[in-house]
Structure 1
Amino acid sequence: MLGVKVPKKEAEKIRKHLLELNVLNNNFKIKHQDEFVIFPIKKRVEGFEIIEITFEKAMKRPHSYREVVKIPSEVYPLLPSSFDIIGDIAIIELPEELIPYGKNIGEAILTVHKHIKAVFAKGSKIVGEYRVRELIHLAGENRTESIHRENGIRLKLDVAKVYFSPRLATERMRIFKKTQDGEIVFDMFAGVGPYSILLAKKAKLVFACDLNPWAIKYLEENKKLNKVENVIPILGDVRKVAGQIKADRVIMNLPKFAHQFLKEAMNSVKSGGVIHYYGFSHEKNLFKEHEKKIKEIAKELGREVKTIDQRKIRPYAPYQFNIAIDFIVF
């Protein structure tokens, strides 16, 4: 096989040049010989010392667990193309037909993604007041606590005891960029604090409420983890808190039930303040019904609203989307 022999001190420069010429053969390993480096090449190239030599085959690292998983061919098309990663824990949604092969799927994920230490399958839908789901251990360590990193903050949580979606990281950063220095923020359904801890970098105060005692426990830990002092965790029903706080910005991250808490949100926002409302909608009617409800509640309270942004955030189910509406309350 053909190789380009170059002195070690010139190796990196030559490697880049061979890449630019598209002659470097990445299917084979680069060879080291005394004070020289020998690059495998696809064809002869002028200006270099060319030799005939044997190269070892390079092992290609798989990009997806689907490339290495061992399951029957008839169920292979059912493999999900993606899964959630929370810290060093992977959570995958498997159809019933793939559950018997869960261990193989979990081990394939661990093989390809070296930073993942535990793999679970979703065992149920999100249920109950605490918005948690059953998890089925597939492979790796049998633990559900981890530290998740996003947007420059660290969040400690237990995926079996609290609700958390890593897929909203971009949305959380969007809200952070809109938040002004010195604001008072009310995070109505705070969880472990992905909004609260992040917004605390700009806000004067963040009131973070949640019904789940585990969420508040981890929120307290995340305050310390991120050295944040201006977050006020509140354990309890947001209905009992609403009205006692007057915020410049209110976060309503409870898409399934947020419409039931619009009165509480509007009672907690200053005139000219912003509410970030989240919901679920069919693709044929993304915003209309939500906006109708917002206006109805505003009229009931003798207030006015003005929509400043509407967004389709992510698919939630077939033909269903997680949506967001930002509006000012006067």
Structure 2
Amino acid sequence: MLAVKVPRQEAEKVRRKLIELGVLAKGYAVKREGEFILFPVTEPVEGFELVEADFGRLEKRPHSYREVVEVPKDVKPLLPSSFDIIGDIAIIEIPKELMEYGKAIGEAILKVHRHIKAVFAKGSKVSGEYRVRELIHLAGERRTETLHRENGIRLKLDVAKVYFSPRLATERMRIFQKTRPGEVVFDMFAGVGPYAVLLARKAKLVFACDINPWAIRYLEENIRLNKANNVVPILGDVRKVAGRLEADRIIMNLPKFADRFLREAMLSVKDGGVVHYYGFGPEEDLFSEHEAKIKAIARELGFKVEFLERRKVRPYAPRQFNIAIDFRVLK
């Protein structure tokens, strides 16, 4: 087979050039000969040394675990099309009809996604004061602690002991882009710090509160990991903290119950400051109920609110969405 022979130190530059020219042969492994690299090509290329060589075929890898999972054909349509990846741990939601095939599903995920080391199934809904769920081990390592990377930060956490959603990475970056240098931020339900640690890169100071001691333990570790020394971790009920500090920006990432803490948020934000509120809403009317509650609390406190942005964050359940409302508080 025709090949381009180049010194090893120039290999990456040449590879990109061959791709740009559209002549790099697909489906073959490159070959090394001493200090030279051989690239298979579909036609002669001017300006390069051309040689004849034999190349091995690359193994065609499946793109989805559903291509390799060993389950009866009649249940294959029930296989979930997606799952969460947190660090090197996969968490999948499996219908009851498929739970007996859980091990096969877990092993298929490990086979296709080599970077995943452990697979768990959701055993319950997120519940309780600490917002955690039961997890059922399917395959791989029997551990729940991992190191997750997103938006240029590292987050150590235990998926069985704290709440964390990788699906909010885009939303977290949206808030980061809105944050201005020198702001004071109050993250009311901080968890292990995905908002707090990220926003610390711009903010002057970030107060990060959570009632879960495991979340605060990991938050403290993530502050060290990311050198985010301007994050102040606070363990306890946010009601006891509210009003004792003033922030330019408030994060209310507790969509199921955030409306219960609106008073605390408004008492803690500066005049003209911004609140990022999260909730759940039905498809037919996503925002009205939440906005009515926001206005009512503001009136009780003698404040005014200015709505800045409303958006669907992600699907939550059939015909239900996780929503975000950004509003300014005028005192």
Relative distance call for 1:216 and 1:56 in structure 2 (3 A) is closer
- Other-structure match for 2:285: 285
Q: Does 1:226 align with 2:223?
A: no
What is the DSSP-based 3-state SS (H/G/I as helix, E as strand, rest coil) of the residue aligned with 1:148? Answer: strand
- Please identify, of 55-64 and 300-309, the stretch whose mean Cα deviation from structure 2 is larger: 55-64
How many percent identity over aligned positions?
69
What is the DSSP-based 3-state SS (H/G/I as helix, E as strand, rest coil) of the residue aligned with 1:177? Answer: helix
Separation (CA, whole Å) in 2 of partners of 1:36 and 1:299:
72
List per-residue Cα deviations over 1:287-316 (Å, max 9, x = no partner).
111111100110111100000111111101
| Alignment map for 1:150-229 (pairs within 5 Å) | 150-229=150-229
Relative distance call for 1:4 and 1:251 in structure 2 (3 A) is same
TM score, norm. by length of structure 2: 0.89
Relative distance call for 1:71 and 1:202 in structure 2 (3 A) is same
Letter in 2 for 1:285: D
Relative distance call for 1:194 and 1:32 in structure 2 (3 A) is closer
Tell me if the contact between 1:5 and 1:36 (Cα under 8 Å) persists in the aligned partners: no
Query: What value does the CA root-mean-square deviation take over the aligned residues?
Result: 2.6
Relative distance call for 1:172 and 1:33 in structure 2 (3 A) is closer
- Other-structure match for 1:299: 299
Tell me if the contact between 2:206 and 2:230 (Cα under 8 Å) persists in the aligned partners: yes
Separation (CA, whole Å) in 2 of partners of 1:229 and 1:63:
41
How far off is 1:58 after superposition? 3.2
What is the DSSP-based 3-state SS (H/G/I as helix, E as strand, rest coil) of the residue aligned with 2:81? Answer: coil
Tell me if the contact between 2:3 and 2:41 (Cα under 8 Å) persists in the aligned partners: no
Tell me if the contact between 2:248 and 2:274 (Cα under 8 Å) persists in the aligned partners: yes
How far off is 1:199 after superposition? 1.1
Tell me if the contact between 1:162 and 1:191 (Cα under 8 Å) persists in the aligned partners: yes
How far off is 1:88 after superposition? 0.9
How far off is 1:37 after superposition? 4.9
Tell me if the contact between 1:29 and 1:40 (Cα under 8 Å) persists in the aligned partners: no
Relative distance call for 1:213 and 1:46 in structure 2 (3 A) is closer
Letter in 1 for 2:226: N
| Alignment map for 1:1-330 (pairs within 5 Å) | 3-7=1-5, 26-27=26-27, 37=38, 39=40, 56-330=56-330
TM score, norm. by length of structure 1: 0.89
How many residues were matched structurally?
Answer: 325
Letter in 1 for 2:329: V
List per-residue Cα deviations over 1:204-239 (Å, max 9, x = no partner).
221111111111111111111111222111111111
Letter in 1 for 2:246: K
Tell me if the contact between 1:314 and 1:321 (Cα under 8 Å) persists in the aligned partners: yes
